[in-house]
């Protein structure tokens, strides 16, 4: 064997070891991200529940089950649950925008602002997790 072929074999061997360590280390990284997504989703669901508690139906919605804000927050909660379960084909940011624009109560302003901030972090985590999984 020549020095050149020995060098090439050595380089590929080292690259294989590095890639193997990266892949196995990546599983720990992906599971840590998944754990963070679950924690953030639970926090978002608690915040969404607080919106459902603070919102009051408008006069025109008294005969309906949900006010506009309750309806939108319920849809947002379902979307967050789907992403938490690993279904990444849903655009929860669209539901968030609709929830923030819905005719809500003045009592819910602080909860809506908290949701907006926490949702940004949730979205970043879910994108990072998709990248980690190679989706």
Q: Is position 15 within any domain? A: no
Q: Is residue 125 part of a domain?
A: yes
* pLDDT attached to residue 17: 46
- Give the 3-state secondary structure of residue 56: coil
How many domains, the chain? 1
- Confirm whether 99 is domain-assigned: yes
Task: Write down the pLDDT at residue 63.
Answer: 46
83 near 90, Cβ under 8 Å?
yes
Q: Please indicate, yes or no, if residue 113 is contained in any of the structural domains.
A: yes
* Residue-number span of the structural domain to which 48 is assigned: 40-133
Q: Is residue 2 part of a domain?
A: no
pLDDT in the model for residue 58: 56
The per-residue pLDDT for 73 is 83
Per-residue pLDDT of the chain (135 residues; tens, 9 = 90+): 565 655 566 456 665 544 444 445 556 889 999 999 999 999 999 988 887 777 665 555 554 545 677 788 888 899 999 988 888 777 788 888 888 877 655 777 888 888 889 999 999 999 899 888 886
Does residue 76 lie in a domain region? yes
Copy the structure tokens of residue 26: 């990546």
Report the distance separating Cα 31 and Cα 125, nearest Å.
12
For the chain, where are the alpha helices, taking DSSP H only? 3-54, 68-84, 92-101, 109-133
Q: Is there a domain that residue 53 lies in?
A: yes
The model scores a pTM over 0.85:
no
Residue 32 lies in a domain: no
Ramachandran bin of 87, using left for φ above 0, alpha for ψ from -120 to 50, beta for the remaining angles: beta
The conformation of residue 90, written as its DSSP 8-state character, comes to S
């Amino acid at each position: 064997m020549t020095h050149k072929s020995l060098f090439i074999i050595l380089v590929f061997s080292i690259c294989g070891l590095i890639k193997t360590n990266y892949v196995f280390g990546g599983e720990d990284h992906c599971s840590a991200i998944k754990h963070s997504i679950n924690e953030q989703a639970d926090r978002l669901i608690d915040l969404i529940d607080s919106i459902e508690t603070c919102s009051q139906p408008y006069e025109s919605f008294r005969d309906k089950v949900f006010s506009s804000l309750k309806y939108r927050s319920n849809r947002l909660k379902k979307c967050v649950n789907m992403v938490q379960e690993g279904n990444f084909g849903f655009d929860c940011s669209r539901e968030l925008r609709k929830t923030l624009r819905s005719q809500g109560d003045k009592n819910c302003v602080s909860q809506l602002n908290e949701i907006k901030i926490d949702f940004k972090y949730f979205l970043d985590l879910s994108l990072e997790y998709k990248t980690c999984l190679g989706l």
